[in-house]
């Protein structure tokens, strides 16, 4: 998701063949949205070089 958020303008997240979320990287790169997509606790930090935020697993 980190690479997609950095290079794509719009993202669609699928899980089990169903669309879980869609939107801009800024809309999807949120802890609550990522937890819904992946089913595990996730966090988001700003990228040190000012690029798209970076997600991580707790």
pLDDT for residue 47: 86
By the 8 A CB rule, do 1 and 55 touch? Answer: yes
Q: What does each C-alpha distance from 22 to 9, 29, 30, 49, 58 come to in angstroms?
A: 11, 11, 12, 25, 23
Helix (H) or strand (E) holding 28: helix 25-28
Instruction: State pLDDT tens for residues 29-57.
Output: 999 999 999 999 999 999 888 778 999 99
Its pTM stands at 0.85
Sign of CA dihedral 38, 43, 47, 52: positive
Digit-coded pLDDT (tens) for 12-28: 999 899 999 999 999 99
Alpha carbons 57 and 34: distance in angstroms, whole number: 10
pLDDT for the residue 51: 75
């Amino acid at each position: 998701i980190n690479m997609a958020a950095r290079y794509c303008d719009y993202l669609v997240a699928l899980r089990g063949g169903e669309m879980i979320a869609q939107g801009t990287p800024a809309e999807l790169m949120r802890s609550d949205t990522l937890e819904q997509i992946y089913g595990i606790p996730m966090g988001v930090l700003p990228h040190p070089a000012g690029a798209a935020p970076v997600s991580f697993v707790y």
